[in-house]
Structure 1
Amino acid sequence: MRARLGAALAMAALLGLGTAGCAFITPQATTKIVEAANGVNGKVGTVDIRNATLISDDGENASLLVTFSNSARESRALTLQYEADGTKSEMTIPVAGNGNTSFGADAESQVVLRGIDAKAGSLFPIYFQYGDAEGKQLLVPILTTEFEEYTGLAPTPLPTVTPTPVPSTTPMPADGEATPTPEATPAP
């Protein structure tokens, strides 16, 4: 009887350990942070970069959709560095203190990167930095307005300048005067 009881207890212990052992071997899914958006996230000093995405229909100009969350009281002058027209370019944008600053949701608050070489579906490197805080490079995904939620968010191309004819420097005759006729020069 004792042998049966001992065997039953040993079997229950092995069965319990076998079924509970999965939790010891398998990593918990809740400990891995997954970005549940199209953009990427990062952090520079007190500024969190949230859901950074580039919207471009032509691959040369892109609008940056992003939210910056600054936990400091002071505002920050955040510098973005990227490659445009084969050289390093940078722009500085203001990020308000104690709150969120968003860009790209409407035409009034767009950050437009011009002269870039970025195809839809690729990742474009942008380096974010302010003051003496350690900067962070993010590979920002490039999407198009083919996605319904991004309709109207791509930057418009810069207008092209059309040359206008310049008036002749020949003085116009006054009313009633004859128009001068150019004279032919005899050939030598």
Structure 2
Amino acid sequence: MSSYVLGGSVNSRLIASIAIGAAVLLGTTGCSMLATQATAIPYSPAEGVNVPDSGPLEVRNAFIVANEDGSAGNLVAAIVNPTDEAQTLRLEFGESPDTITASVRVPANSVVSLGSEEDDPLLLEGVEMLPGTDIPGFFESGDATGALVAVPILDGALPYLESLVP
């Protein structure tokens, strides 16, 4: 009488099916398990850029609206002062030796919205600012070392930017 192991080939097929299924699953999802997810990358969902690490003042949605020949531009941004003391934001645009320097004073616990109905934009002249490009901008307040960011330069083609062209 011969003895057979019941289910030997069934167990082997089941294990092989599970192994193939796991390999297919890992092969089709393996890249997304290791890659950075786009939804986890912080960004500014607006025309301008937010400026991290500029000091106690928070600079939000900073951009420049320039005229057609790029000879002048208006800085538009919201500058938030969450502190109990007035602060000054020091700004530099362009690259050495051609740089523009400016400053904006922000009262305690308030917001200065450059380019709004309450606050005029900050006029910048002396450095080429062609629409469609970026310009290096250095932002510093308080005792911080400041932050260098690429500030986008826009034109007045959109209706809500027309009034901001110098």
After TM superposition, the score normalised by the length of structure 2 is 0.75
Aligned to 1:101: 112
Aligned to 2:55: 45
Instruction: Tell me whether 1:6 sits opposite 2:37 in the alignment.
Output: no
| Match in the other structure for 1:142 | 153
AA at the equivalent of 2:73? A
**Larger Cα Rg: Structure 1 or Structure 2?**
1
The number of aligned residues is: 154
Q: 47-56 or 10-19, which moves further after superposition?
A: 10-19
The CA RMSD over aligned residues, in Å, is: 2.6
Q: Deviations over 1:155-177 (max 9, x none)?
A: 2xxxxxxxxxxxxxxxxxxxxxx
Deviation per residue, 1:3-31 (Å, 9 max, x gap): 23333333343344334424323321212
Show the 5 A alignment for 1:42-121: 42-43=51-52, 44-57=54-67, 58-82=69-93, 88-106=99-117, 108-121=119-132
| CA 1:20–1:146: 2 relative to 1, 3 Å | closer
Task: Decide which of 27, 34, 37 is 1:25's aligned counterpart.
Answer: 34
Q: Deviations over 1:80-101 (max 9, x none)?
A: 12359x7544222112333432
Question: What TM-score, normalized by structure 1, do the two folds share?
Answer: 0.68
- Equivalent residues of 1:105, 1:153 under 8 A apart: no
Amino acid at match of 1:33: P
Structure 1 residue 151: deviation in Å? 1.2
Amino acid aligned to 2:56? T
Structure having the higher strand fraction is 2
> Displacement, 1:59?
2.0
Which whole-Å deviations, capped at 9, do the CAs of 1:61-90 have from their partners, x for residues lacking one? 211110122333322111112359x75442
Contact 2:58–2:79 (Cα < 8 Å) also in 1: yes
CA–CA distance in structure 2, aligned partners of residues 72 and 16 of structure 1:
52
1:41 is displaced (CA, Å) by: 2.0
Structure 1 residues 89, 35: closer, same or farther in 2, change over 3 A? closer
Residue identity in the other structure for 1:34: Y
Question: How many percent of aligned residue pairs carry the same amino acid?
Answer: 31
Matched, 1:36 2:45: yes
Structure 2 equivalent of residue 177 of structure 1: none
Structure 2 CA distance, aligned partners of 1:108 and 1:24? Answer: 47
